[in-house]
């Protein structure tokens, strides 16, 4: 394999993007490039102790690193992003409950006469070497260690139609999907809507339960390495993910059942387009093999993931085996840096 082109980028706080779309690119990259990037946590690094209430510290949430202009990307193409590594850049991370936000409380869209939940902050110790984080109860003596499982809550491109979407909102462009499936080793496919694609990422989580029930995961700054690739002339209507064992479609909407429908409908049509299955045959197969983890039920749009095991599909190869090429680049990168 030819020498890798490795590009490093760490944003100054003045360079954070707070929307997908409506932001000038921070740099241009080429298909095949390896990006080493740093992303700030969702609190912009301003919440560091249990006394730091986000409502008193922060005016906006979810700063993004990017956007990056991908040379040659045009509407109708697909951007492939392969996550080589996602690692916490600090030995601590934060989480909160937040008034009028989360799945088990009154919100601005689900109005009740109950008082908002109390705003409480939790600080987690992060031990990257042992692959553990430590939960400590705020109103009791209980502590426990949880497995470190880093992921990115937000990955996306500029939306179509000249829109600028808040980095809190997931939709067809990606954005704040908050799925734990967006971890190292995963390949993410995003449909390109504008010249250059203009992709950004952020909102690192040390771990997150499915659903992100209280609305806030174990939020952390991340050192992330990813490989960029471009699939010309292939549209991708909703964000899709691929691992060694599964292909996955995502859907983001309200109500939650519409997010479910989008994800499963996209998975059905992916099998039709990729393998030539009859639409109803694909529907029947997906109905029997799909796994359906909830990504989030707290953002302005909810997100569902529909997973299909490759062992039940006509072939394990999708998008002309793009993932295999990206894995080879990732393996070369890791070998050159002694990471294996």
Q: Which of 158, 153, 186 is nearest to 172 (CA)?
A: 158
CA distance 9 to 69: 13
CA distance 166 to 22: 10
R_g over Cα of the chain: 19
- What's residue 220's pLDDT? 98
Q: How confident is the model at residue 106 (pLDDT cuts 50, 70, 90)?
A: confident
- What's residue 338's pLDDT? 85
In this predicted structure, the answer to whether residue 194 has a pLDDT above a threshold of 90 is yes
CA angle 284, 285, 291 (to 5 degrees): 115
| Torsion angle in degrees (nearest 10) through CA of 108, 110, 114, 118 | -50
Average pLDDT of the segment spanning 216-235: 98
- What's residue 340's pLDDT? 78
Q: What percent of the chain has pLDDT over 70?
A: 99
Angle, helices 256-275 vs 279-289, to 10°: value is 120
b (16+ CB within 10 A) / e for 78-112: bbbbbbbbbbbbbebbbbbbbeebbbebbbeeeee
- What's residue 139's pLDDT? 95
Beta strands in 196-340 (DSSP E): 199-205, 222-231, 240-242, 246-253, 294-296, 302-309
Q: What percent of the chain has pLDDT over 90?
A: 93
CA distance 115 to 231: 50
In this predicted structure, the answer to whether residue 1 has a pLDDT above a threshold of 80 is no
C-alpha pair distances (Å), 96 with each of 24, 118, 123, 136: 32, 10, 9, 13
Half-sphere exposure (CA, 13 Å, Cβ side) for 195? 1
Domain residues of the chain, as ranges? 6-236+318-336
CA distance 48 to 234: 43
CA distance 108 to 337: 48
Half-sphere exposure (CA, 13 Å, Cβ side) for 237? 13
What's the sign of the alpha-carbon dihedral 279, 171, 68, 293? negative
Domain over 6-236+318-336 is classified CATH 3.30.70.580: no
- What's residue 135's pLDDT? 98
Average pLDDT of the segment spanning 103-110: 88
Per-residue DSSP letter, 161: T
Average of per-residue pLDDT values in the chain: 96
pLDDT tens-digit map of 276-329: 999 999 999 999 999 999 999 998 999 999 999 999 999 989 999 999 999 999
Is the pTM higher than 0.95?
yes
Average pLDDT of the segment spanning 11-38: 97
pLDDT tens-digit map of 51-64: 999 999 998 999 99
- What's residue 313's pLDDT? 97
Q: How confident is the model at residue 2 (pLDDT cuts 50, 70, 90)?
A: low
Average pLDDT of the segment spanning 121-145: 97
pLDDT tens-digit map of 256-279: 999 999 999 999 999 999 999 999
- What's residue 27's pLDDT? 97
């Amino acid at each position: 394999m030819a020498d890798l082109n490795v590009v490093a980028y760490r944003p100054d706080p003045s360079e954070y993007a707070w929307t997908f779309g409506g932001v000038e690119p921070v740099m241009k990259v080429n298909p095949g490039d390896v990006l080493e990037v740093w992303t700030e946590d969702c609190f912009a690094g301003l919440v560091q102790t249990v006394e730091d209430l986000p409502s008193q510290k922060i005016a906006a949430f979810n700063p993004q690193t990017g956007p990056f202009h991908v040379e040659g990307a045009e509407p109708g193409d697909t951007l492939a992003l392969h996550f080589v590594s996602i690692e916490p850049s600090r030995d601590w991370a934060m989480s909160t409950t937040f008034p009028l936000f989360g799945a088990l409380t009154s919100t601005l869209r689900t109005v009740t006469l109950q008082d908002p939940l109390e705003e409480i902050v939790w600080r987690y110790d992060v031990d990257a070497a042992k692959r553990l984080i430590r939960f400590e109860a705020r109103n009791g003596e209980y502590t426990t260690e949880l497995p470190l499982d880093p992921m990115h809550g937000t990955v996306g491109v500029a939306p179509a139609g000249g829109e600028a979407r808040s980095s809190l909102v997931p939709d067809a462009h990606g954005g704040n999907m908050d799925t734990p499936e967006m971890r190292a080793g995963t390949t993410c496919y995003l449909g390109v809507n504008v010249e250059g694609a203009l992709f950004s990422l952020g909102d690192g989580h040390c771990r997150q339960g499915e659903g992100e029930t209280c609305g806030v995961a174990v939020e952390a700054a991340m050192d992330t390495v990813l490989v960029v690739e471009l699939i010309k002339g292939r549209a991708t209507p909703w964000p899709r993910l691929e691992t060694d064992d599964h292909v996955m479609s995502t859907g983001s909407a309200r109500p939650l059942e519409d997010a479910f429908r989008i994800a499963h409908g996209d998975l059905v049509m992916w099998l039709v387009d990729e393998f030539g299955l009859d639409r109803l045959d694909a529907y029947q197969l997906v109905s029997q093999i799909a796994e359906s983890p909830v990504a989030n039920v707290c953002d302005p749009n909810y997100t569902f993931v529909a997973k299909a095991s490759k062992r039940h599909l006509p072939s394990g190869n999708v998008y002309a085996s793009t993932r295999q090429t990206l894995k080879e680049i990732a393996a070369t990168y890791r070998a050159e840096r002694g990471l294996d």
